[in-house]
Amino acid sequence: MSNQPFGTRLRAAMNQRGPLCVGIDPHAHLLDSWGLPDTAEGLASFTYGVVDALAEHVAVFKPQSAFFERFGSAGIAVLEQATIRLREAGALVIIDAKRGDIGSTMAGYASAYLAEKGPLACDALTVSPYLGFGSLQPAIDEARAAGAGLFVLALTSNPEGPQFQSARTTAGQTVAGAVLDGLRELNAEADDLGSFGAVVGATIKSTDENLDIRGPLLAPGLGAQGGTVAGLTEIFGAAVRNVLPSSSREILGAGPDATSLRDAAARTNESFRTVLGY
């Protein structure tokens, strides 16, 4: 892995290839629409089809671990291979596994996904802070050592999110606010973009939380979940420049034809470029 911290590499990749993150979510219905069986072989054809079409054109990919885990070890092998191939093609990979556990167990996840020689070594991992922000410390330490990053769930795109995320902590702030404060602290030394990001859904309409964390703001929920490009400015305000917009089903549905996939990604990337200022 490069010596540059994740945030620096992310900004450079977005400047070079545009801000789009393509989510790789091989749902059963997508395998079907690509004419593939719902098996590990179908998963491999689908995933490598996306990799071959887009790896050299898109800055960031976010494979969704759930759809690989569905096929057990054969599925995880595809996730490993895809991650290696994408990174070899110069793209950054965020593995979306939303891991979170007590600190000592978190260290196990960190060595799998974040350590430079880990079997699933990627550029960043999505993590869940609901065992307390401090429980993420082993992942934070490993990410710093490896030049990797984390995306911590803050204001998620699903309608159930506010039940916990808008609740108040013992200190009186919202849970989401506490997560964003923790991230702001971790990124305090960053010049431009730090390596510790928040997940803020593109569907939340607006928020009173301070999204200026000097770190990337992963915004899933575009397209299939109803989030729009125009809505990003409303949600993120002055922090919009740090948004990493992510779209999965909307782009994957354009396959299996490689040119159609590339066209769909290029169109979406172009619409983000204008709004996000790239």
| 11-19, 46-54, 81-89, 218-226 -> range binding ligand OMP (CB under 6 A) | 218-226
Residues in the chain: 278
Closest Cα partner for 169 from 177, 180, 161, 181?
177
Does position 221 bind ligand OMP by CB under 6 A? yes
DSSP codes of every residue in 187-245: TTT-SS--SEEEEE-TTS---SS----SS-EEE--BSTTSB-HHHHHHHHGGGGGGEEE
**Is 98 known to be catalytic?**
yes
Please answer whether residues 14 and 59 qualify as being in contact, where contact means their C-beta atoms are separated by less than 8 angstroms.
yes
Residue whose structure tokens are 């898109």: 58
Mutual orientation of helices 40-54 and 258-276 as an angle, nearest 10°?
60
Instruction: List phi, psi (to 5°) of 154.
Output: -125, -65
By CB under 6 A, the residues from 82 to 111 that bind ligand OMP are 96
Q: Which of 223, 231, 245, 255 touches ligand OMP (CB under 6 A)?
A: 223
Does position 231 bind ligand OMP by CB under 6 A? no
Smaller CB distance to ligand OMP: residue 96 or 209? 96
Does position 25 bind ligand OMP by CB under 6 A? yes
Site string for ligand OMP, 169-208 (x = CB under 6 A): ------------------------------x-x-------
By CB under 6 A, the residues from 246 to 265 that bind ligand OMP are 246-250
Query: Where do contacts with ligand OMP occur on this chain (CB under 6 A)?
Result: 23, 25, 64, 96, 126, 156-158, 199, 201, 220-221, 223-225, 246-250
Residues classed as catalytic: 98
